[in-house]
Amino acid sequence: MTLQPIGVVHSCYKEKFGIPRQPRLVTEARAELHLLPHVACADTIMGLEQFSHIWLLFGFHQTQSQGWKPLVRPPRLGGQQRLGVFATRSMFRPNPLGLSAVRLLNIQVHGSNIVLMLGGVDVLDGTPVFDIKPYIPYADAIAGAEGGFAATAPVAQWSIVFSDQALAQCQQKAQQWQVDIALLIEQILQQDPRPAYRVGELDERCYAMKLFDFDVRWHYQPDRIEVLELVNT
């Protein structure tokens, strides 16, 4: 079997650091899925507009060269316990494939260009997509299913505050990108994107991550995270 991408994601996430570990944890995260020419026609998407969510089967293109190991340390367990790779959603897999259920916001068709507008994504900019399937609630949402070590969504441990400068910059960027930038940043930072062994700790470093065309800079205080500024890149 040879897989060929059918589309490429253009996402608000420009680097791996800071991407939520599951889809829909950050509802404001937006992306565009651009179908490639060999599948970009009206026939391939006929009826897709009837579904509110879709499954994306994609490739971990930035980490596949690092290979895989049979045991991994899930961040949800603090990075201290090992589990088998097939008992986790680690990106380091024998076949570096990811699976995400995301919201289908809109479908834009401009001649031979077809773009799927997505929300709640956890996918890096430039990610190749190998397949799209509709999310079917009666089959895909299983009542009574057990979630092992990740039975419930992670609990937000930090409150988020913005400096006056950062808040003004968020308002400017919101107009540019038509996204609630302050809410996007708040939802990302509530997940505490630091390495698992630092989650919940207080440290004095200034952290940064890239979104859209800017870097977000923040630091940790005893009872909150303060967003310091947005810096154009």
10-residue mean pLDDT profile of the chain (233 residues): values are 94 92 91 97 95 97 87 85 92 94 96 94 96 96 89 83 98 96 96 77 86 96 93 93
Determine the Cα–Cα distance for residues 178 and 56; give it in Å rounded to an integer: 24
The residue whose two tokens read 């509709």 is 134
Query: Token pair for residue 2?
Result: 């040879």
- 3-class SS at 59? strand
Q: What angle do CA 154, 99, 19 make, to 5 degrees?
A: 50
The third-level CATH classification (topology) of the domain covering 159-232 is YaeB-like fold (3.30.2310)
Determine the Cα–Cα distance for residues 182 and 152; give it in Å rounded to an integer: 25
Contact between residue 225 and residue 189 where contact means Cβ atoms under 8 Å apart: yes
Q: What pLDDT score does 219 carry?
A: 94
Q: What pLDDT score does 197 carry?
A: 72
Looking at the chain, which residues constitute the CATH 3.30.2310 domain(s)?
Answer: 159-232
Query: Token pair for residue 192?
Result: 């505490």
Instruction: Tell me how far CA of residue 218 lies from CA of 74, 114, 160, 189, 221, in angstroms.
Output: 25, 37, 10, 9, 10
Looking at the chain, which residues constitute the CATH 2.40.30.70 domain(s)?
Answer: 7-140
Q: What angle do CA 120, 169, 127 make, to 5 degrees?
A: 35
Q: What pLDDT score does 97 carry?
A: 95
Q: Which residues contact 153 (CB under 8 A, 6 or more apart)?
A: 22, 25
Q: Which residues contact 63 (CB under 8 A, 6 or more apart)?
A: 16, 91, 92, 96
Q: What pLDDT score does 200 carry?
A: 63
Determine the Cα–Cα distance for residues 155 and 197; give it in Å rounded to an integer: 16
| Residues forming beta bridges with residue 8, ordered by sequence position | 34, 128
Q: What pLDDT score does 222 carry?
A: 85
CB atoms within 10 A of CB 78: 13
The third-level CATH classification (topology) of the domain covering 7-140 is Elongation Factor Tu (Ef-tu); domain 3 (2.40.30)
